[in-house]
Amino acid sequence: MRETSERRPRVLFVVASAVVGGAETQTAHLLRHLRRVEPVLMIRAATRDHFQPLGLPTYVADDFGCGEILHRSPGNVWKYLRAIRAVARAERPRVLVGIMETASFHVTFANELFRLGAAAVSTIRGPMSTFFAFCRRRPSPGERFLLWYVFRRSRLVVVPSRGVRDDLVEHLGARDDRVIVILNGVDVDRIRALARAPRPVALPKNCPWLVTACRLSPEKDFATLLDAFRLLRATRRATLIIVGDGPMRAEILTRVEHHGLDGDVVLTGFLPNPFPVLAAADVVLSTSRFEGFGNTLAEALALGRPVVATDAPVGSRELLEGGRCGRLVAVGDAGAVARACLDILDEPAAGARLSEAALERAETLSITRTAAAWDEMLAALAGR
């Protein structure tokens, strides 16, 4: 039974991205299922529609003059710090939670600078050393300070997989005793109910559908995805459906045209409910260069869809149990991606085995378990 709001300690969650991606989606799932604390939100105006259905007390950073949080000008940093102070003084949260590293820094710094008296919790969603290797650069002095501060001054750092934890401890100096693993949860019943809704976009009929759903950003490796689809399309008819939005949309469209795939690739944009499309997929694809967990893959497992994913550091292998409940292929290998998809399309029995294993795995990723772990941690930090 849920405690009354008067008895539950408040927890302020700061979600500073202006784009709805995996972290924002996972946060919304988590907030629906917390029982022992009273969540309060600070978000960007651009994500208001995503979080508004939760019905939580919500503050908009833009109303305090805050810009894009990744724009680290002194004036913008100061605006975020003051906004967090204002909300914390109004709501009196016992715990502050930053979603992803930059918001985590602002939450932790504001807590100490203004002596807010809360416990600061940071969240890191992916393997940071792999991110910098992907970008082919070392962390800048500012990034090194940001990570050092988050790792050393947060009460706890929450990560979604053992691989992310090991990466932060071994390569970036995080303290072993402050990093805890709480797997991202899958709201299986809700996903399956939403999947029964009418499809939000018209899709081609009488051919297999390959679906990927993610933020359209460089680490998702759309070059490999489109090369793989081009190779597959040379041998049989199929449609590639890309669900999501992001900075690479224009480049993806250019590549689609270059490969002569205009009629075979559908970009749906961001869909508030992507699950009717995922549920109809013959194969769900992920060609990421790295993953902290793989939220879309987990959702595909909940829907029993066969999955093909690159063996990206660090989340995909852990999530798919080494390939037991999804096909793993080498990162950047378009030919291997195409062959794995064709194997599933050409051998229904193989796809059925993957579907069965996917459903079994999904039961271990319940959002109820995830929320219970968060509830226990937050209640302990709040002194309850």
Judged against a pLDDT cut of 80, whether residue 37 lies above it is answered with: yes
pLDDT digits (tens, 9 = 90+) for 247-263: 999 999 999 999 999 88
Q: Rounding to the nearest 10 degrees, give the CA dihedral for residues 92, 383, 164, 67.
A: 0
Judged against a pLDDT cut of 50, whether residue 175 lies above it is answered with: yes
Average pLDDT (281-310) is 92
**Domains defined for the chain, CATH in brackets:** 10-185+366-381 (3.40.50.2000), 188-363 (3.40.50.2000)
- What is the reported pLDDT for 173? 87
First to last CA, the chain: 16
Q: How far apart are CA 79 and CA 108, in angstroms?
A: 15
- What is the reported pLDDT for 384? 65
Judged against a pLDDT cut of 90, whether residue 114 lies above it is answered with: yes
Judged against a pLDDT cut of 80, whether residue 70 lies above it is answered with: no
- What is the reported pLDDT for 25? 86
Question: pLDDT band at 205, cuts 50/70/90?
Answer: confident
- What is the reported pLDDT for 333? 97
Share of the chain above pLDDT 90, in %: 71
Judged against a pLDDT cut of 60, whether residue 6 lies above it is answered with: no
Give 340 or 262, the one with higher predicted confidence.
Answer: 340
Q: What pTM was estimated for this model as a whole?
A: 0.80
C-alpha pair distances (Å), 130 with each of 72, 142, 155, 259, 297: 22, 18, 24, 30, 20
- Cis ω on the peptide bond leading into residue 158 (within 30° of 0)? no
- What is the reported pLDDT for 4? 43
Give 270 or 70, the one with higher predicted confidence.
Answer: 270
Structure tokens at 376: 């226990």
Q: What's the mean per-residue pLDDT of the chain?
A: 91
- What is the reported pLDDT for 7? 79
Average pLDDT (334-361) is 94
- What is the reported pLDDT for 3? 43
Q: How far apart are CA 179 and CA 35, in angstroms?
A: 23
Q: How far apart are CA 203 and CA 66, in angstroms?
A: 40
